[in-house]
Amino acid sequence: MSSMMQKIVQLERKVKTQAVDIEHKKFLNDYGMIWVGRYEEREQANSHLPGATNARRSFRMNYDLVLQNIQELNMVAGEGESHVTAVPGGAKLTQQSSIPLWFYKNGIVMFSGPFRSYQDPRTQEFIQDLVDGFFPSELQERFPNGVPFQVSDKRDEEFIVRQPGTVFPGRGQTIDGAGRHSVYSSEQTSSTAPKQSQIPGKKLSMEQFLRKLPETVVKEGKVISIRDSIKTHLLGFPDGAKSHSVTTVETSALQALRERETDSSLSAQDVTTLRLKSEDGMETFIMRMYFTETIGDLRHYLDLKRGPGAALYDIISAFPQRCYSDDTQTLLSCGLTPNAALLLRPQASSHRQCGDTENNNRQLIVK
Q: 67: pLDDT confidence band, cut at 50, 70 and 90?
A: very high
Question: For 282-295, what is the mean pLDDT?
Answer: 92
Q: Would you say residue 51 has pLDDT above 50?
A: no
pLDDT in tens, 184-229: 444 444 444 444 444 445 566 777 777 777 777 777 666 677 777 7
CATH class given for the domain over 244-367: alpha beta
When mean pLDDT is compared over 2-6, 48-52, 213-217, 286-290, the highest value belongs to: 286-290
CATH topology (fold) of 36-50+57-160+171-204: Nucleotidyltransferase; domain 5 (3.30.420)
What is the overall mean pLDDT for the chain? 74
Query: pLDDT higher for 260 or 142?
Result: 142
Q: 268: pLDDT confidence band, cut at 50, 70 and 90?
A: low
Q: Would you say residue 68 has pLDDT above 80?
A: yes
Q: Would you say residue 334 has pLDDT above 50?
A: yes
Strands 339-346 vs 271-277: parallel, antiparallel or unpaired: parallel
The structural domains of the chain, with segments of one domain joined by +, span: 36-50+57-160+171-204, 205-235, 244-367
Question: For 272-283, what is the mean pLDDT?
Answer: 88
Give pLDDT, residue 304. Answer: 92
- In SS3 terms, 169-208 reads as CCEEEEECCCCCEEEEEHHHCCCCCCCCCCCCCCCCCHHH
Give pLDDT, residue 342. Answer: 92
Q: Would you say residue 31 has pLDDT above 80?
A: no
315: exposed, middle or buried (Cβ count in 10 Å: 0-12, 13-18, 19+)? buried
pLDDT in tens, 221-260: 666 777 777 776 666 554 444 556 788 899 998 888 888 7
Q: Would you say residue 182 has pLDDT above 90?
A: no
Question: For 69-92, what is the mean pLDDT?
Answer: 76
Query: pLDDT higher for 105 or 93?
Result: 105
Q: Would you say residue 21 has pLDDT above 50?
A: yes
Give pLDDT, residue 174. Answer: 54
Ranges 128-142, 280-294, 338-352: which has the least confidence: 338-352
Give pLDDT, residue 238. Answer: 47
Give pLDDT, residue 183. Answer: 44
* Per-residue CA distances from 127 to 18, 56, 62, 139, 286 (Å): 19, 16, 9, 12, 28
Question: For 98-118, what is the mean pLDDT?
Answer: 90
Question: For 331-352, what is the mean pLDDT?
Answer: 81
Percent of the chain exceeding pLDDT 90 equals 23
Q: 352: pLDDT confidence band, cut at 50, 70 and 90?
A: very low
Strands, E assignment, the chain: 82-87, 90-95, 99-104, 107-110, 115-117, 149-154, 171-175, 181-185, 216-219, 222-225, 245-248, 271-277, 283-290, 313-317, 322-323, 339-346
Give pLDDT, residue 324. Answer: 94
Query: pLDDT higher for 324 or 348?
Result: 324
Question: For 148-157, what is the mean pLDDT?
Answer: 91
Query: pLDDT higher for 26 or 1?
Result: 26
Percent of the chain exceeding pLDDT 70 equals 62
